[in-house]
Structures are given as structure tokens and as C-alpha cells.
Structure 1
Amino acid sequence: MSVWIGVDLGTQSVRALAVAGDGRVLGTASRPLTSHRDGPRHEQDPEQWWRELAAATREALRDVPAGERIEGVAVDATSGTVLLTDSSGRALTPALMYDDRRADADRANEAGAPVWERLGYRRMQPNWALPKLLWLLRDAPAGARLAHQSDFVNRRLAGHEVATDLSNALKTGVDLIEERWPLEVFDALGVPPEILPEVVRPGTRLGTVCAAAAEETGLPAGTPIVAGTTDGCAAQLGAGASRAGSWNSVLGTTLVLKGVTKELIDDPLGVVYSHRAPDGSWLPGGASSTGAGALTRDLPGRDLATLSEQAAARFGSAVPTGGLPAGSGPGRALPPAVTYPLVSRGERFPFAAPGAEGFTLGEPADDVERYAAILLGAAFIERLCFDYLDLLGAPVDGEIILTGGATRSAYWTQLRADVLGRPVTLRENAEPALGMAVLAGGDPARMIRTRAVVDPSGADLHEPYLRFVSELERRGWLTATAAEHARERTLP
């Protein structure tokens, strides 16, 4: 039996998964990571990444039957996390994490404007990797080299210098169209080309596990090391959203949509930007500031599972044994209010509105109605994301796969299917580490398993959705063009 190892190197922990070719998880382990935060500063110790990764892989492999062949390993990491190393791979600086905001993006945006415009994201943010690299280089010793989070551990695995992947290099300014560093931009910024690693597509073989790494990690020496992706792209791979027109909607604290297109999507607002897929297609996506984080803020201390059951009983049908509400058709009761559930001030997708604030249309009478109003508003934003993607010319007619903590609510899952007017798919196990096991060489058709497909109940949500869209337009956050397109897609 063949086994693949996927590693998810996150912010709070590192997780390793040993997955058989038929999708069975043979071993799993997680180890915590610690951060150092102070205002805009957010750093981690790269050596801790390696220690905890090695411990996690050893434990995950403990229950793999002796004699099984480990076919490959791939590591994902947080997007925009960078550090400087010496020529041997030893860390010269702490790692500046994905949300460290001490840098300034003005120089990067001035020098690289034509490239960033062509790539669709228009402008870099201060927490992106290139501004942080410029910040680190101010005091860098001679011979320093750039390393992304995954590069640091992949070099330890291989025992020699390795390439970085296009996905992790996106926020460092790599030209995803030409698949190279834009050296003319880096020259203008004073970045020596010799500090930059080679760039390859995710899924490219980087080398094999060396003897020293094998002793620490438990991975057999000679195991192929495959270039990974960012954690968001890894989650998309784990969900199985890999065909053009398919989308993975991740609803947890906030909402993130990631899909697949054959061509690069050009977004005049810059709220949608694209990674490059292993096969050369594109992975557009956007992150909203709405999500389940509004539930814990607005309903502190409440049992959300109980509220979900009460909302299903009041506004839908009872939850059957299978765990998913059957719905009550066109006559199904609707929540009397809808809340725009911003987790923090400002919206990033499906529109850019730094001053946006949450609001509620209608008057919820109790906590059940407040809960249902938040769920409905998040579902409306999710629908509006798809309307905006359709406006940009992205195909949105493929499978929609729901992942994230919100899928634990049967009522919310049914509501999202009703608002989208489309079946939605739930997976048995969709996580970044599984996506890395697939990228390492596993067969996604066998390794990614479907738990359920939820059909829309037939509830008519057109009128409240369009009222919500009109309110966003009235407040000046949603453009008239985007609002009109949402109406055209909604009205029969």
C-alpha cells in the first residue's frame, strides 16, 4: 500500500497526516506553535517550525503499518510569512508572519505597479511578503537569502537549497504569468537577485528526504519532497475544488472563496486575485470580512448548536436523522431580519469598502432570530460573491464545496444551499494537510470523499436578498454595476 504525507504548517500549530491511496487516514498528529506579538509585530521562531514538524511527522507515521511505502511529502505554509537565512539555511532573522504590519508597501507599489496591475491584485498590502523583505534587508548581513516559511523546512528535509513555489511567492512579487521573478522591479528596489530562490509550480519535485532529516522526522530517506502551496490553496486542494468552474467556500470566522479558471481573472477593484495551479490554470479567490466571528461577538456565551436547532425548528423543518434539514419548500418561514455580519470594520470582498460597518434590516425579537439573521446575512454575502465573480467572467457553474466550521450547523448549510439556489457538497475530510497529501502524488478521486450533497429546499429568498443588495448599494459600498448584475442573476 502506498502512503502520502501532507503537512500543514500554520500559525498556531503544525499538523501532519499520513494518508493511504484510498483516502484512509492512517496517522495524524499536531504540535502547537507559539507567536510573539506586540502591536503590528508578529514573529515566530523558525527553529520551532522544524522541531514541531519533525515531532508531528514522527507521531503521524507511528501507526502506519511497517513495510508500507511512503511515496511523497508536501508542506503548505501561511501566505506572506518570510525570513532571511544564510547560505546553509540557518535563520538570520525571526520569521515575520503573514499579518506582521511593520513594513510599508509604498516603495514596492511604486516600483512594481505595472506588474501588480497585470497580475490583477493592483496593489500590495503592507503585510505582504515583498514589503517585509525590503524591511528585513535594511540590516541584512552579506550573503543573506530570502526564505518563505515552507522553504525553510523543505531545505531541512532535503539537506540542500530548494526552490520556492509560485503560490508562496505570490506576495513576494513573483510574475505568475511568466513564472519568474520580475528582476527589473527587484533591481529598482535594490534587491540583489542572488538572494531569491528559484521558483517552480506547486507539485514540482524539489529533492528527497536526506539522512539527517529522516532520523529527525521518521520519514524514510529518499522520500520525494514535493513543492507545496499556501495554506489557503492547500485547503482548496483538500476540498477537491480542482476543475474549472468549481469553488470551495470556506466559512469559519470569516468567509473565503477559492475557485478554478482557465484564464486569469481581471478585477478592476483588486478584491479578487489569483494563484497559479499545478497544471498552469488559475486559482482566483477573495476573502470577506464577514463570517461566524459575528456569532461569538453578538451572542456571547450562547450555545450555538442549540440556537441552530431552534432556528431550524422555527424557520425550517426539523433536522432528520441524517443530520440535514429537509426544508419545507416554497412555504418555508423566513427569518424576519437580516444582519450584515462584519467581524471587523471594513469589507474586502465582494467589494472594497474600508469604512463598511455591520447593520441589521428588521428587528430580531430574540436570540434565535438574531442568530438566524446573522446566518442569512453571511449567506447573502456568499451569494453576492458568486454574483460578482460571474460579473468578472469567472465560471461559477461547477461544484460548490462547503468547508469550515459553519458546516457543523445543518440549518446554516441548508440556508446557504437555498440562497445559492444550487446543490452544495460536503466532504468527509477537507483540510490543508489532506490537500498536501494529494499534491504529493495521491489520487484525488480516491482520497477525497464526499459526505453529503445538500439540495436547495425551494424556499424563495429573492426578495430579501435583493433588499440586502440595494441597502449595500445605497450605503455606497457596492457599485451600481455589481448591484444591477446581482439583480439580473436573481430575477427570473
Structure 2
Amino acid sequence: MAWIGVDLGTQSVRAVLVGPEGDVLARGSRPLTSVRDGVRHEQDPQQWLDAVDACLAEVTPSADGVEGLAICSTSGTFLLTDRAGRPLTPALMYDDARSAARRVHIVDADPDRWATSMQPTWALPKILDLVAESDQRVMHSADFVAAHLVGHPVATDTSHALKTGYDLVAGSWPAAAFDTLGLPLDIFPEVVRPGTELGRTAAGVPVYAGMTDGCAAQIAAGALARGAWNSVLGTTLVLKGVSEKLLDDPTGAVYSHLHPDGGWLPGGASSSGAGVLTELLPAADLDAFDLKAGPVDAVIYPLTKTGERFPFVAPQAERFTVGTIDSDLDTYVAVLQGVAFVERLAFEHLVALGADSVQTVSLTGGATRSPYWNQLRADVLGVPVELPVAADPAYGMAVLAASGGGSVTETARRMVRVDRVLEPRPHHLDDLHDAFVAELDARGYRG
């Protein structure tokens, strides 16, 4: 008895086979290539099918004993197909900004719905540019692969549908707004909850509706109960948690997915994160720095690009330094402290909106390879942090498949394993944190 999770990433497809107690039985991966041209970013969707087929053959030579499969993909990546599900366009990636100018038309069609939530790189502006006739169909990347596996077009899930304009509260596509925009309602797929069976493979394996990669990572981290949060730190920082009620953020910094078991998964994605280290210290041995690291009286606001999205929205925000930097090691620690301060502000913003107070935080993402940073984040947040054994999105999809339409929370409680827990220690960074916040306010970034 085992379940398969598949993650359609930007640079690779990854698959994992997981047993009933959460043990990883096999892993497989295949590379993907993209085409970037200015603000345009595309992939050939046939790559996904070839890579997924190869990964599935690698993790399980036969379907014997496989009880189910679920797929996640990058949020907002889609293509147009004909009615039979054959591609009519390349895949437009989640960060493709070719149709940014269309955002204003979408907001004008329904300001109350989209004035603060709609982003220029979301799927809907690109759909508005591309759709020419009602015979076309919108298909998210996970749906395209699922259709390939079961042999027919499938429904999408509430998670992937979010950036295509789906109304999670009403549980329907916004027909009136789409009519104003001239978008035929029947180009959009049926929407189901994550964990709904979409069909079966030729070998009889159920394929379940998945979620976007960020939600998949949250499942893999086991952060599905109130008070538990998942903080994903890679190039940028992404937070996700649980709330019983939908959090209303008038600034647009926080958006929410539906929890598969009911309630909401609020969170946000910052423009700051570990990606700054590659730019500021391109040739440095970061592992060696980590062994030498200790507190410094300086902080770098670690934006990876101009503009901040979370915990506040400030398109004009730019990187800055508070304090004096005397060495590359100082730069390294100042960035780590900056990310920890942004993370603390993000949690404070979520709690101010009505989220439950933070009880535990699961740390995932590439930055968890830094023991110093993991402990620093626990210290600054003032709560225990957990480091899961296997917290990648593919693993989360295996957990979702194992739930079989039942409670994902209970399934994750049984399957997700924690490698270690770091307790917060006393520290002397509060004054530096306050100076950092004062500089953000002086620059008008927090409104």
C-alpha cells in the first residue's frame, strides 16, 4: 500500500512514493526547460507529460499496491486547449507578465472583487488577452497532466482556480464579471475540492485533485491545524497557516486558499528572502559563514527586487541597510536577521487580521540547510520551530492522495514526521528589530 505525489515545478518534475506511515519508498525527477523573453515565460506542456511518465516509471515499475496519486503545480500556470484537451498554446508560467496592462480592465469589471487581490502576473489577465473563442478551454498545468493520466479532460481544484478568478466564497466562477470582460463562462473548467477523485489511470489508480505547490508544501509540513504555520524560505519567503474564518486584508498582502477539510489557508509571499545572498555574496562559502555566524548590530532589508508584496504592499520598496557592515560575514548575518525580522512582521500582520496566535512554525525550503538561521528564526519569532523530515510539495501530494477524500489533517498527523524541534532562546535583537521597523516606516513602506 502506497501513494504517489507529483510536483510540476519550474525547473523539474518530481515524484515520490510514500508508504502508510509516511516513509519515503522511492523518488524520481526529470528536468524541465523554459523559454524566457523579457516579461514572457513559457514552457512546452508536452515536456510535463514526458517527464511525469518517466518519473512514474522510476518510482513504481507497476501500479500494484498504489492506492492513489495527486499532482501539484506552480500557482497560475496554464495553457489553452481545444475541447478534447489538445494544446492550442504553450504553457504560460506563473510569473509571465506579458498581460500586466490587462489588470486595470479586470479591476474595472469588478472593483470590489479584484481591486486589492488581482496581481498583474495572475492567470486571468493573460486569459483575457489570449481567449478568442468559446471552443477554447483554460487548463492549469496539474489538470493537463491529470487529464493525460486518466485519458479525458478533468475538473480543476479550488487551489489552482484561485488565480484564474474563481470565487472561493461563492463557490463559483464570477459569471457577471466574466460577462463584462467578454469571457465565455464555458471556457473555464468545473471546480472541485482538493482530494476529489478525477478519474483513474489505465492501471486503475485513482487520480485525485491536487493543490498548488505552496499548499502542497504546507500539507507536507503538517501545518494544517489552527495555530500551526508553515514558513517556506527559499529565494523568497512564503507563509501559510490555518484560520476558521476568511481573513479580510484591505491591503491585499494576504490571500487565502480553501482548506481541504474546511476553513481557510491564509498566507502571503514576500519579495524578500535568501535570494539576496546569491546577489550580495556570489562567490562566498555560505556553509563556512554559517559555522562562524553570530549576532551583528546591522540588518539588511533583503528584497530580491524592487517592491514588496507581504507583509505589506509597497511597490516602491527598495533594499536598505541599518547599521554598519564591515565584512562579508557581517553581510551574511545582516541578511539572515533581515529575513527573520520580515518573518516576524508577517506573523504580526496575520494575527492583527484575526489569525490565531502562532503556536508552532514548520520551517521548509532551501534555507533550512542553515542551522544558524533556523535557530535565529526560532529566537526572533519566540516560538518553537519544527523541521519536518520530508517537506517537499510532492510529498504533500502523496499525503493528500492518501487521505482519499477524507481528512487531510488527520492523514498528515499520521504520516508527516518531524526531524527536530528548536526552542526559542533569549536574544538581544529587539532594539535592532525596532530600528528596522522605524526605517520601514520612515520610508513610508508600511503605509
Q: Which residue of 1 is the match for residue 106 of structure 2? A: 108
Extract unaligned runs of 5+ from structure 2: 404-410
Return the offset for 1:445: 2.2
The AA in structure 2 aligned to 1:242 is L
CA distance in 1, matches of 2:262, 2:444: 37
Provide Cα deviations, 1:245-299, integer angstroms capped at 9, x if missing partner. Answer: 2110111111111111110000010010011111121111111111111111111
Contact between 1:246 and 1:259, CA under 8 Å: does it hold in 2?
A: yes
Q: Which moved more, 1:225-234 or 1:360-369?
A: 360-369
Contact between 1:113 and 1:123, CA under 8 Å: does it hold in 2?
A: no
The AA in structure 1 aligned to 2:302 is P
Report the structure number with the largest CA radius of gyration.
1
Of 456, 474, 478, which aligns to 2:442? 474
Return the offset for 1:67: 8.4
Provide Cα deviations, 1:118-160, integer angstroms capped at 9, x if missing partner. Answer: xxxx24122111111111113x5x5211111111111111112
Q: Which residue of 1 is the match for residue 177 of structure 2? A: 185
- TM-score normalised by the chain length of structure 2: 0.95
User: Structure 2 matches for 1:340-419, cutoff 5 A?
Assistant: 340-419=301-380
CA distance in 1, matches of 2:140, 2:172: 16
CA distance in 2, matches of 1:406, 1:419: 16
Local SS of the residue matching 1:174 = coil
User: Structure 2 matches for 1:152-191, cutoff 5 A?
Assistant: 152-191=144-183
Local SS of the residue matching 1:21 = coil
Q: Which residue of 2 is the match for residue 464 of structure 1? A: 432
Q: Which residue of 2 is the match for residue 273 of structure 1? A: 255
Of 118, 123, 133, which aligns to 1:129? 123
Identity among equivalent pairs (%): 56
Local SS of the residue matching 1:441 = helix
Local SS of the residue matching 1:440 = helix
User: Structure 2 matches for 1:234-245, cutoff 5 A?
Assistant: 234-245=216-227
CA distance in 2, matches of 1:129, 1:185: 15
CA distance in 2, matches of 1:396, 1:149: 35
Provide Cα deviations, 1:197-239, integer angstroms capped at 9, x if missing partner. Answer: 1111111111111x2xxxxxxxxx1111100011111111111
The AA in structure 2 aligned to 1:51 is D
Return the offset for 1:461: 2.4
Does residue 288 in structure 1 map to residue 284 in structure 2? Answer: no
CA distance in 1, matches of 2:63, 2:171: 39
Local SS of the residue matching 2:210 = coil
Does residue 27 in structure 1 map to residue 14 in structure 2? Answer: no
Contact between 1:109 and 1:123, CA under 8 Å: does it hold in 2?
A: no
Identify if the C-alpha distance between structure 1 residues 466 and 96 changes in structure 2 by more than 3 Å, giving closer, same or farther: same
CA distance in 1, matches of 2:173, 2:187: 11
Q: Which residue of 2 is the match for residue 203 of structure 1? A: 195
The AA in structure 2 aligned to 1:69 is G
CA distance in 2, matches of 1:176, 1:269: 19
CA distance in 1, matches of 2:379, 2:429: 7
> What is the aligned-residue RMSD (CA, Å)?
1.4
Local SS of the residue matching 2:26 = strand
Return the offset for 1:100: 1.2
CA distance in 2, matches of 1:196, 1:476: 40
The AA in structure 1 aligned to 2:105 is R
Return the offset for 1:68: 5.0
The AA in structure 1 aligned to 2:250 is P
Extract unaligned runs of 5+ from structure 1: 212-220, 316-333, 480-492
Q: Which residue of 1 is the match for residue 289 of structure 2? A: 307
Provide Cα deviations, 1:40-71, integer angstroms capped at 9, x if missing partner. Answer: 11111111111111111110114xxx785111
CA distance in 2, matches of 1:308, 1:52: 36
The AA in structure 2 aligned to 1:474 is A
CA distance in 2, matches of 1:190, 1:346: 32
User: Structure 2 matches for 1:207-246, cutoff 5 A?
Assistant: 207-209=199-201, 211=202, 221-246=203-228
Local SS of the residue matching 2:402 = coil
Contact between 1:12 and 1:32, CA under 8 Å: does it hold in 2?
A: yes
CA distance in 1, matches of 2:186, 2:388: 43
Q: Which residue of 2 is the match for residue 7 of structure 1? A: 6
